[in-house]
């Protein structure tokens, strides 16, 4: 436990939540991908189902962890954070926000009356993708606040909007 605390600059026990939550969510993602691959290969309800799922889940988990640590090293000097555990919190916020924005865009496009049955698919998907952008911007700051990273995400949001030429939207 001391190695984890030292590696991620954890000074209080509650901060251990972020490395463990990050590992859990990464494994959940790896498991979900493995189950989808299982169904794609038609291996569900076979004797090798759980062996395949376990092996592929662990392999994907290992690959994702390696990738995330590589990302941490690349972004460590670019993002201004006080402790390394905050990087994990930031990655978790990005993951939750992206997934949630994608999920919320579908019902919102449906609510305004643009279903893939009554408009061409190109228009439907264009509107859905365009809806993701404002949803994502709002959720990023809100979920960042929940994870204690409001300051980082507010600065990130302002920088992104200014680069896109939408700085006039900021107070």
pLDDT digits (tens, 9 = 90+) for 94-149: 999 999 999 998 888 888 888 877 888 888 888 888 889 889 999 999 999 999 99
Total Cβ atoms within 10 A of residue 8 = 19
pLDDT digits (tens, 9 = 90+) for 6-40: 888 888 888 889 999 999 999 999 999 999 998 88
Global pTM value:
0.82
Token pair listed for 159: 């920088």
CB contact at 8 A, 153 and 94? no
Query: How far lies 39's CA from each of 15, 32, 33, 35, 99, in Å?
Result: 37, 11, 10, 6, 22
Each domain of the chain, given as residue ranges in start order, spans 1-77, 79-171
For 89, the enclosing helix (H) or strand (E) is: helix 85-111
């Amino acid at each position: 436990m001391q190695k984890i605390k030292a590696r991620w600059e954890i000074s209080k026990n509650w901060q251990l939540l972020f490395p463990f939550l990050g590992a859990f969510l990464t494994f959940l993602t790896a498991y979900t991908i493995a189950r989808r691959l299982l169904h794609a290969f038609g291996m569900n309800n076979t004797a090798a189902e759980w062996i395949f799922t376990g092996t592929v889940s662990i392999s994907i988990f290992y690959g994702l962890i390696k990738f995330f640590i590589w990302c941490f090293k690349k972004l460590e000097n670019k993002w201004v954070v006080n402790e390394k555990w905050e990087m994990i919190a930031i990655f978790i916020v990005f993951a939750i926000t992206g997934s949630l924005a994608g999920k919320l865009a579908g019902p919102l496009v449906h609510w305004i009356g643009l279903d893939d049955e009554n408009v061409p698919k190109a228009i439907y998907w264009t509107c859905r993708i365009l809806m993701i952008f404002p949803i994502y911007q709002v959720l990023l700051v809100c979920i960042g606040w929940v994870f204690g990273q409001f300051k980082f995400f507010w600065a990130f949001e302002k920088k992104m909007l200014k680069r896109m030429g939408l700085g006039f939207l900021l107070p």
